[in-house]
Amino acid sequence: MSDAQQPSDFDSTTIDEFEPVDIFPSSEDMDLRPGADNCYKCTSCDTSCPVAEVDEDFPGPKFQGPEQWRLKRHEDVDVDDSIMSCSNCMRCDDACPSSVPLSQMHNTARGEYVEEHMNKLSREYLRNRMLANYRTLASIGSKIPRISNFFMRLGITSTLGAKIMGMPTERDMPQFATETFRQWFKKRGGSKVSNPDKQVAYFHGCYSNYNTPEVGKAMVRVFESFGYEVLVPKQQCSGTPMFANGMLKDARREAEVNVRELGKAIDNGADVIASCTSCSMALRQEYPELFDIDGVDELSERTYEAMEFLRIHEDLHGAIRESEVDPQAFAYHAPCHARNQGLDRQAVELFRELDGAHVEDVGESCSGISGTYGWKSEKYETSMKIGAEMFDHMEHAEGEVGMTECPTCAMQMNHGTGYEIRHPLELLEEAVA
């Protein structure tokens, strides 16, 4: 008799009395992120990690993600402090063939580590909180930009920054613009185009507002040249430096305002565009991964990087093909967060068709600064080791001007080579606006 023909003793009438067996007594408290069990230990993430490549003490993304969450099944295992050495470049997300949500796990682990294990009066915590809340500092500094810039340039400011806050003396402090982007936009009377059928809401982020308003101005002029009415809603920091420093409460506070205010523009038919690829990354990926806020998914779906939006909705290639600029060469670096959004070849391929411009990709390496990461003295050396390949390729590229979409990558490119750095939107403005 086959097994299938065996009579069964199983009595289906008793099924309602079944009591589940409690295999893991602490399973209700277990904080195992969904997706941890999808990891099949291929180590692709580890080989893509720029920090693990130069810092032999960093255990890499596989440990920070799935392994750490599995270990946390045991109640006595805390988040490892090495999570603070992850720069949040998010390259590991892209490398994983099994869609393990690595950066989401890292962000959650970092938030838990900072909340539960970091001394809130320590120099490291205070320094990280200050760096994460750059917008607050910048809004104060830019009220008196000339005086702020004078003090930022003084050697004593840098020495005090190193001694008191643990910031590297080697870096030059960012300079504030004498007029913020928002002040400029208000002074010109808002958008020069009125078009209820073609509206975009611009998320300028902190750096374009306080430090490089020329990027925001270029963005406005380019979009107006394609017939768009540009709206500039109220907004806070995207939260990117907060995620990277485990300040998830601060990030949520900012995200709530951004989702609400940008949501109003979306309800009126606008799409959201960003000139900084880390800002678009936060709105698209990190917000829905980390925060349960009404409207967060819609914001994620309706957010674009600025040139990406034009590439999709307008004949950007055609406009570029018909244009011409004065001869100039750029060494282009694709930020890690642009890479994560599939935008790493965008600028090079678009400008290939622009008469007069020569844009050379300087390779796949990370710039090493990763937002606030390279602004910490204990991470400065790692940051520069990671950036070395990019500096070298920039120096071998034609010309002495760099190009990138990310403001902190721009700082690192300038720091490592001395080159002036421009945003692709500035070249696009020259070509089409």
Residue numbers at the binding site for ligand SF4 (CB under 6 A): 39-45, 48-49, 51, 61-62, 64-66, 86-92, 95-96, 98, 100, 102-103, 106
Rounded-to-integer distance, Cα 327 and Cα 401, Å: 12
Q: Which is nearer to ligand SF4, 100 or 255 (CB)?
A: 100
* Residues whose CB falls within 8 Å of the CB of residue 33, separated by 6 or more in sequence, listed in order: 65, 69, 101, 104, 105, 108
Nearest approach, Cβ of 336 to ligand SF4 (angstroms)? 7
Q: What is the nearest approach in angstroms of ligand SF4 to the Cβ of residue 247?
A: 17
CB nearer to ligand SF4: pick between 31 and 301: 31
Q: Which is nearer to ligand SF4, 181 or 287 (by Cβ)?
A: 287
Q: Closest approach of Cβ 85 to ligand SF4, in Å?
A: 8
CB of residue 62 to ligand SF4, shortest distance in Å: 4
Euclidean distance between CA atoms 401 and 408, whole angstroms: 16
Q: Write down the least CB distance from residue 372 to ligand SF4, Å.
A: 13
**Torsion over CA: 119, 121, 124, 126 (sign):** positive
Q: What is the dihedral of CA 199, 201, 207, 213, to 10 degrees?
A: 30
Cβ 394 vs Cβ 362: under 8 Å: yes
Report DSSP letters for 306-367, one per residue. HHHHHHHHS-HHHHHHT-EEEEEEEEE---HHHHHTT-TTHHHHHHTTSEEEEEEE--S---
Partnered with residue 331 across adjacent β-strands are 360, 402
Q: Smallest distance, Å, CB 114 to ligand SF4?
A: 15
Nearest 5°: the CA angle 104, 109, 113 is: 150
- Judged by beta carbon, residue 62 or residue 204, the one nearer ligand SF4 is 62
**Strand bridging mode 401-403 / 324-332:** parallel
Strand, coil or helix: 47 = helix
Cα–Cα distance between 229 and 198 in angstroms, integer?
6
Q: Which is nearer to ligand SF4, 105 or 320 (CB)?
A: 105
Element (H, E) at 422: strand 420-422
Residue 106 CA to residue 200 CA, distance in Å, equals 32
Specify the residue, 61 or 295, whose C-beta has the smaller distance to ligand SF4. Answer: 61
CB of 55 to ligand SF4, least distance (A): 9
Distance CA 414, CA 402 (A): 8
Q: What does the DSSP 8-state code read for residue 397?
A: S
User: Minimum CB separation from ligand SF4 for residue 50, in Å?
Assistant: 6
* C-beta closer to ligand SF4: residue 111 or 161: 111
**CB closer to ligand SF4, 102 vs 242:** 102
Residue 374 and residue 425: Cα distance in Å, rounded? 25
Strand order in the sheet with 355-361: 355-361, 324-332, 401-403, 420-422
Which residue number, 97 or 227, has a Cβ lying nearer to ligand SF4? 97
Query: Which of 136, 137, 135, 66 lies closest to 102 in space, CA to CA?
Result: 66
Q: Which of 235/245 has CB closer to ligand SF4?
A: 245
Closest approach of ligand SF4 to the CB of residue 36, in Å: 9
CB of 63 to ligand SF4, least distance (A): 9
